[in-house]
Amino acid sequence: MKSEPVLRTQSLSWESQNMLESRVQQGQAAGEWTDFYILTASPPCSSFGAGVYSGSSTCSARLRPSTLVGLQFLLPPASLAALANSWLQEDCPGLNFASLVTGSAPAQAVLWAKSPGVLAGRPFFDAIFTQLNCQVSWLLPEGSKLVPVVKVAEVRGPAHHLLLGERVALNTLARCSGIASAAATAVEVATSTGWAGHVAGTRKTTPGFRLVEKYGLLVGGAECHRYDLGGLVMVKDNHVVAAGSMEKAVLKARQAAGFPLKVEVECSSLKEALQAAEAGADLVMLDNFKPEELHPTAATLKAKFPNVSVEASGGVTLDNLPQFCGTNIDVISLGMLTQAAPALDFSLKLYAEGDIPVPHARRS
């Protein structure tokens, strides 16, 4: 079987997993859904159950490869269309005088990748050109490793519509692919140390662009962390101040979470971490710890509360990531995956039949 990129569905319930596998098998039988491996969670372990970060480094049962699934199953069509419309509206809210230059004659263009990285964002690119009555034919699957200069897709449609969607589609693809590339690098760096935990992004995303950025994390093999405020109850330092104490804050969080949601508590010291675990936290985030302080703190916490999962966050970069990997660390989150990932370089070039110009690679 050919090598394919990995997509983790870390937040699905067992019922959803079973439904998903059934849908995937139907899709495979029909010859559809060929881009992604999907990883389904092993039996529940520790305090995670089948929820966020199931299969962490504290569990003997790991995630296992399963079947192939298409991304259209994961991204809501209505959301894709709404995003595409909003982006196009932002770029052209009124008159488009440049369209008078090209007219509506049928045209074709080639999408080129001019910098190395991981291809991500095909569904968003498609959604933009679908709104403009253009057709996209992909030559590379989602998650492909790009070696420039490489032909990625062909787009056909009215000339003025191709040019109307050009910059919006390129911006989206470049941003999503940049995040996927950074995520893939982070996962590779972490796993090369022998660490078996999870690399995750954060909620530090661009307003209005979160779906693209979270999707890019998944394509790169990282975890989303919580997608939004409803995915996990996180108690931060400001919540503790507002509630009056760590114990009160965690108690209120547990009451609010009920049985479906996990509670994570941000801690800046061993004392706070022990208080959070004692109060009932499922996950403890050790925030802005230096590696030499992180690992003994995590070891002490795990020794007393073996079912509590530990996340390391704050100050983690691709360069120092290996220093944060350790036996007692289940998750390492990096805000830079969405905040600092450089965009990949793509171009969309119109061409006459039989005359396809090849652009130059991006200079580093």
Residue 193 lies in a domain: no
> What Å distances lie between residue 271 and 17, 44, 58, 231, CA to CA?
38, 29, 22, 27
Active site residues: 204
Same domain, 143 and 63: no
Same domain, 239 and 329: yes
Residue 140 lies in a domain: yes
Q: How many CA atoms lie within 13 A of 163 on its CB side?
A: 16
Percent of the chain whose pLDDT exceeds 70:
77
Range of the domain at 22: 6-73
How many structural domains does the chain have? 3
pLDDT tens across 126-166, in order?
999 999 999 999 999 999 999 999 999 999 999 999 999 99
Quick one: average pLDDT of 324-329? 97
State the pLDDT confidence band at 44, using cuts at 50, 70 and 90.
Answer: very low
Q: Which amino acid is at 310?
A: V
Closest by Cα among 257, 284, 283 to 269: 284
Q: Which domain CATH number covers 318?
A: 3.20.20.70
DSSP state of 44: -
State the pLDDT confidence band at 363, using cuts at 50, 70 and 90.
Answer: low
Residue 82 lies in a domain: yes
d(CA 122, CA 135) in angstroms, rounded, equals 13
Higher pLDDT, 74 or 350: 350
Residue 225 lies in a domain: no
Same domain, 137 and 169: yes
State the pLDDT confidence band at 57, using cuts at 50, 70 and 90.
Answer: very low
Higher pLDDT, 60 or 223: 223
Look at residue 72 in the predicted model and tell me its pLDDT: 56
Are the beta carbons of 277 and 285 closer than 8 angstroms?
A: no
Mean pLDDT of the chain: 83
